Amino acid sequence: MTDGGDVTPEDGWQPATPPGDTVLRDYVHSASHYFTMIGRAVGASVVEDDDVAIAHHGASFPFANMGVVRRPLDRAGWTRVLDRTRTAFAGRGPYVLAAPFPTPDLRDTGAVLVGHPPFMVRPAGGADVPEPAGLELIPVRTVEQLATFESTLVAAYPAEPGGSLFSPPILGVDGVTLWLAHLDGSPVGTALAHHAGRVNGVEIISCLPTARGRRIGEAVTWLPTLCRPELPAALIASDLGRPVYERMGYVALLRFTLWLVAT
């Protein structure tokens, strides 16, 4: 409520909204930092303003060229975002925009609706972390480990290489940590956390099909979930992976909207 006058009520999505207003806002802020800081470090094409934060890595796999819309937008706002990003990324290939709220129907602009994946949150706290026999969880610190991280991810999804995303400068970006999972000496999974703000953002969880069914994916997910154990954790899940996250104590709060945009 307000005391009258021309005061605009806080809706949680203003540029001046303070950190800690909601876990969702903290996640969007952390993801914005993650996309743009890595993008600038590796020389990607970056667009960042009050409406959107995205880095295009020149990858043919559009989910490597991903960004987040930072506040609710009307049709005119979405038109501005699409015009600006399409101009910035002209000729570089498709990219994905994620929005944590309903959006206008953008199909008449040529954008393709990817889906509505669940956004899930877990409060800070302890956990019963599985320890599958033969599993070793390794922080990625070298160029060689980084190359293995990308090749493992490509094989596990399956996907295509990430363009500039996994270039060596990513290893020096503050608030970003990568891990490799080795099973009996061979790489089988990946995980990444962005943790520069007030939430552990869980990203790039993968597990090779040959290693599934042994709780390896869960074990890998605990790494970013507990990266800073005093913070809550949050992630954009898939409906297929949702039961795993629910067993870990994650709760689905809402669904994001994902649009694939061609240039």
Rg (CA), the chain: 18
Within this chain, do residues 155 and 37 fall inside the same structural domain, yes or no?
no
Query: Which residues share a beta bridge with 115?
Result: 258
Residue 93: inside a domain: yes
**2: in domain:** no
Instruction: Answer whether 175's CB lies under 8 Å from 35's CB.
Output: no
- Tens of pLDDT along the chain (263 residues) come to 455 556 678 899 988 899 999 999 999 999 999 999 999 999 999 999 999 999 999 999 999 999 999 999 999 999 999 999 999 999 999 999 999 999 999 999 999 999 999 999 999 988 888 889 999 999 999 999 999 999 999 999 999 999 999 999 999 999 999 999 999 999 999 999 999 999 999 999 999 999 988 999 999 999 999 999 999 999 999 999 999 999 999 999 999 999 999 98
Q: Can you give the residue range of the structural domain that contains 82?
A: 23-116
By C-alpha distance, which of 237, 214, 32, 212 is closest to 122? Answer: 237
The verdict on 156 and 96 lying in the same domain is no
Residue 18 lies in a domain: no
Number of domains in the chain: 2
Same domain, 92 and 31: yes
Q: For residues 130 and 248, state if they share a domain.
A: yes
pTM of the entire structure?
0.93
157/95 same-domain check? no
Query: Which of 88, 116, 144 is the last residue before a domain boundary?
Result: 116
**Helical spans, DSSP H, in the chain:** 23-42, 75-88, 143-156, 216-225, 242-247
- Kindly state whether residues 103 and 146 are assigned to the same domain: no
